[in-house]
A = this chain, B = another copy of it.
Amino acid sequence: MSNNTVILLFSSPDKKGIINKITDFIFEFGGNIIEMDQYVDRENSIFFMRVVWELNDFKLTKEQIYEKFDPVGRLFNGRWKFYFSGKKSNIVIFVSKQLHCLQELLWRYELGDLEIDIKAIFSNHLEAKEISKQHNIPFYHFPINKENKDEQERKESNIIKELDTDTIILARYMQILSPLMVNEYPNKIINIHHSFLPAFVGGNPYKQAYERGVKIIGATSHFVTEELDQGPIIHQDVIRITHRDNLEDIKTKGRDLERIVLAEAIKYHTEHRILVFGRKTIIFK
């Protein structure tokens, strides 16, 4: 498979001929489609599409693609975005004291599994400092309390912008981001919550699960919105527990879920497989 490709994410009101017009465009200029997926939300009559084609023999430059596709997209009142191969997502990771999710991401990053560049690690604590250093990733310490929260977030936000950040990962970050920050990055902040949402929102979900006596526990990765733990869900997984599992056992079992569920969500996101519609995600795997 060629490494010189472009991904188009497209959505619009559903109408006859969208696929046809879009594939006409690709074919006209000599593109070879290598992946294509589409879905129609019948309830709301919305069309969603992801198509990937090779650019090797494609007769348009990057700029021309934007220009020439414009009338096609407008024809259907669509919203679209192009992602060109070779451009990795710039990532900033927020973490607190627990490092297992961070560690998993660093490991996959170094294996080359994820199309990302980790630009910085932010923390309100110091536990992640050493591992950041080992992996040659800038570490920023932003202790947070009631008084300094706004100011610290402003500083964080500035660095995030300087680093040309595409995606913010909350890898077990135990602070709630302010609405200001959240609204600046719609569908670009990914959190891992350690329950199968919508069960056990908020703090201490494992303790809540333990006390409720559930027989399965879960983890959920989702985009962050203003309402806590209410954003569009990207990925979830669960594991069975029994009465023999005490709170500590539950946390240990959950840890393996969290790191894999978060890594998977980041993979979907940075491979541009996700379209968000309202509270839902369309994920073209």
Question: Could you list which residues of chain A lie within 8 angstroms of chain B, going by C-beta atoms?
Answer: 1, 16-17, 19-20, 23-24, 26-27, 30-34, 36-43, 100, 103, 107, 111, 113, 134, 196-200, 211-216, 218, 232-238, 242-244, 246, 252, 256, 260, 278-283, 285
Contacts and interface: CB of A to CB of B under 8 A. Distances in A.
Given A198-B200, A198-B214, A213-B232, A246 B43 contact: yes
Nearest to A237: B216
Contacts of A244: 39, 285
Copies of this chain present in the complex amount to 4
B212 A279 contact: yes
A198 B197 CA distance: 10
A200 B200 CA distance: 11
Nearest to A42: B1
B198 A243 contact: no
A213 B244 CA distance: 25
A36 B38 contact: yes
B17 A27 contact: yes
A47 to B, nearest CB: 10
Closest 8 CB pairs of A and B: A213-B280, A199-B199, A20-B27, A20-B23, A215-B236, A243-B282, A16-B32, A17-B27
Contact of A16 (B30, B111, B216): B30
Contacts of A234: 215
Contacts of A280: 213, 243
29 contacts: A16-B27, A16-B32, A17-B27, A19-B19, A19-B36, A23-B23, A36-B36, A36-B38, A39-B243, A41-B243, A42-B246, A100-B111, A103-B107, A113-B252, A134-B134, A196-B214, A196-B216, A197-B199, A197-B212, A197-B214, A198-B199, A198-B214, A212-B279, A213-B278, A213-B279, A214-B233, A215-B233, A215-B235, A242-B283
A212 B198 contact: yes
B33 A19 contact: yes
Given A27-B17, A39-B244, A200-B198, A260 B252 contact: no
A216 B214 CA distance: 16
Contacts of A232: 213
Contacts of A233: 212-215
Nearest to A274: B243
A31 B36 CA distance: 19
B246 A279 contact: no
